[in-house]
């Protein structure tokens, strides 16, 4: 489900799993070849802390099932977000993050 669809940009050959919620009210861009697992939540606005910001999932990144991406986050090219992670900070390219809050691991 996408809320705020006029601010949502979807790239080529992306895969978004079932039951994923995307709030694109303030902008969400999903670039080419991105995979988003099922039951994920991507927010460009949060009522807790009143945070607002565009979310960008760069080319080739993967977001594991049941993950949450908060407003203003950029997931770098070819980065991996482990299942169930809560992403509160930008994820650099070619990096793997896991946990709550998501933190870099050596993979």
Exactly one of 7, 26, 39, 50 is catalytic; which is it? 50
- Region for 74 from its dihedrals, namely left if φ exceeds 0, alpha if ψ lies in -120 to 50, beta otherwise: beta
Catalytic residue status for 7? no
Pairing mode, if any, of strands 103-105 and 80-81? unpaired
Using left for φ > 0, alpha for ψ between -120 and 50, and beta otherwise, residue 42 falls in beta
Q: 1: which 2 tokens?
A: 């489900």
- Indicate which residues carry an active-site annotation: 50
């Amino acid at each position: 489900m996408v809320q705020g669809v006029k601010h949502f940009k979807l790239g080529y050959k992306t895969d978004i799993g079932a039951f994923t919620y995307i709030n694109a009210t303030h902008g969400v861009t999903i670039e080419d070849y991105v995979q988003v697992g099922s039951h994920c939540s991507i927010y460009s606005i949060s009522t807790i802390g009143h945070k607002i910001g565009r979310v960008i999932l760069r080319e080739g990144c993967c977001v594991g099932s049941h993950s949450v991406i908060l407003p203003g986050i950029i997931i770098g090219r070819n980065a991996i977000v482990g299942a169930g992670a809560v992403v509160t900070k930008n994820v650099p390219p070619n990096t793997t993050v896991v946990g709550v809050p998501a933190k870099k691991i050596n993979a």
